[in-house]
């Protein structure tokens, strides 16, 4: 096995310790960050995700103030709930768990969250600030990728970074984060997608490849420059329930210089960065920025 394995679990654990220490310091000043997760309906996977976010929150010393709404909730009732949380001083950050039941407009719900509490970073103000190079809340998964690279000692400044996937959730915000004018960014980013011609010609010259396509076997060994760093965001589930990524790990590990596993790579960073954003929101709301 050639590549160094980037241990997302260990890096996330260290970040959570830092966050818990920050929460303890805020508590001395009478500030307890609170995260409200709005969950509509009975989707089992969403319940699992929200449950793990809430547990992580409480473990870090924060309040979790979740709201559970029935599947038949109307758009107006959902907006009324978000408005209530927007106005509640105990709530620092609000997330609306996706997917919403089909009759609901996800984008409208995301836009209803007050920009000061948009810790998922998916609303237009958060996206606009990120585009402007002045992010407040960056979406958790791409932020997690950036922190993973930094904490693993992978220099991205001046590097050629190729991102596969242009979603609003991962690829596009990551391109914005890594092109910002700062030390743990400053990368030259190529954002590839389904209409990209000859994907391998891009990935083969990359110092860092981030794969967020949601498609198994998107990156094979022949597509990787020897010694490059590979970050696998993808989560796919085999028939027996095991998770695997978008990268052909067994062969790419022989060529890459460093690589994230699935599970245990990017995944643990996502919830951690949500906690980070919630603390940031609480600090801002109390004038402690």
Q: Which residues of 48-87 are buried (b: 16+ CB within 10 A; e: fewer)?
A: ebbeebbebbeebbbbbbbbebeeebeeeebbebbeebbe
State yes or no: residue 275 binds ligand NAD (CB under 6 A).
no
Selecting among 15, 110, 117, 120, the annotated active-site residue is 120
State yes or no: residue 199 binds ligand NAD (CB under 6 A).
yes
CA–CA dist 167, 141 (Å, integer)? 11
- Nearer to ligand NAD among residue 41 and residue 144 (C-beta): 144
Binding mask 116-145 for ligand NAD (x = CB under 6 A): -------------------------x----
- Nearer to ligand NAD among residue 89 and residue 195 (C-beta): 195
Pairing of the two strands 243-244 and 236-237? antiparallel
> Which span (31-39, 96-104, 150-158, 190-198) binds ligand NAD, by CB under 6 A?
190-198
> Which span (13-21, 121-129, 168-176, 223-231) binds ligand NAD, by CB under 6 A?
168-176
State yes or no: residue 266 binds ligand NAD (CB under 6 A).
yes
To which H or E segment does residue 63 belong?
strand 63-64
Determine whether 59 is an active site residue. no
Determine whether 97 is an active site residue. yes
State yes or no: residue 155 binds ligand NAD (CB under 6 A).
no
State yes or no: residue 16 binds ligand NAD (CB under 6 A).
no
CA–CA dist 130, 114 (Å, integer)? 16
State the DSSP string of 154-220. Answer: ---TT-EEEEE---TTTHHHHHHHHHSSSTT---EEEEE-TT-S-HHHHHTT-SEEEE--S-TTSB-
Cα within 13 Å of Cα(163), Cβ side:
26
> Which span (122-130, 150-158, 201-209, 212-220) binds ligand NAD, by CB under 6 A?
212-220
What tokens appear for 255 in the block? 């060529």
Which residue among 196, 221, 285, 286 contacts ligand NAD (CB under 6 A)? 196
Selecting among 97, 117, 232, 248, the annotated active-site residue is 97
- Strands ordered across the beta sheet of 4-5: 4-5, 258-259, 229-232, 208-211, 160-164, 188-192
State yes or no: residue 75 binds ligand NAD (CB under 6 A).
no
> Which span (46-54, 81-89, 111-119, 160-168) binds ligand NAD, by CB under 6 A?
160-168
Which residue among 3, 233, 281, 282 contacts ligand NAD (CB under 6 A)? 233
Sorted by sequence, the CB contacts under 8 Å of residue 281 that are 6+ apart come out as: 33, 92, 93, 116, 117, 119, 137
- Nearer to ligand NAD among residue 39 and residue 170 (C-beta): 170
CA–CA dist 93, 117 (Å, integer)? 4
Determine whether 120 is an active site residue. yes
Which residue among 119, 161, 192, 275 contacts ligand NAD (CB under 6 A)? 192
To which H or E segment does residue 258 belong?
strand 258-259
State yes or no: residue 214 binds ligand NAD (CB under 6 A).
yes
Which are the catalytic amino acids? 53, 97, 120
Which residues form the interface with ligand NAD (CB under 6 A)?
141, 164-167, 169-171, 192-194, 196, 199, 212-215, 218, 233-235, 266-267, 270
């Amino acid at each position: 096995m050639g590549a160094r394995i980037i241990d997302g679990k260990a890096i996330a654990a260290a970040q959570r310790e830092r966050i818990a220490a920050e929460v303890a310091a805020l508590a001395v000043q009478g500030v307890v960050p609170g995260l409200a997760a709005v969950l509509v309906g009975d989707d089992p996977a969403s319940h699992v995700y929200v449950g793990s976010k809430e547990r992580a929150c409480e473990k870090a010393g924060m309040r979790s103030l979740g709201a559970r709404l029935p599947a038949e909730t109307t758009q107006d009732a959902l907006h009324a709930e978000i408005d209530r949380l927007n106005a509640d001083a105990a709530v620092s950050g609000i997330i609306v768990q996706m997917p919403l039941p089909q009759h609901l407009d996800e984008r409208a719900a995301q836009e209803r969250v007050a920009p000061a509490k948009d810790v998922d970073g998916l609303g237009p103000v958060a996206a606009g600030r990120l585009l402007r190079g002045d992010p407040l809340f960056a979406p958790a998964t791409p932020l997690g990728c950036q922190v993973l690279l930094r904490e693993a000692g992978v220099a991205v400044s001046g590097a050629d970074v190729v991102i596969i996937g242009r979603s609003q959730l991962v690829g596009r915000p990551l391109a914005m984060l890594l092109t910002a004018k700062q030390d743990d960014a400053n990368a030259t980013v190529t954002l590839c997608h389904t209409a990209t011609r000859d994907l391998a010609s891009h990935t083969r010259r990359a110092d860092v490849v981030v794969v967020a396509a949601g498609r198994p076997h998107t990156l094979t060994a022949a597509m990787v420059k020897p010694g490059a760093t590979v970050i696998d965001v993808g989560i796919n589930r085999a028939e027996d329930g095991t998770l695997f990524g978008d990268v052909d790990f067994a062969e790419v590990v022989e060529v890459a210089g460093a690589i994230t596993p699935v599970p245990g790579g990017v995944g643990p960073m996502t919830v951690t960065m949500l906690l980070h954003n919630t603390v940031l929101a609480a600090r801002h709301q109390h004038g402690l920025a």
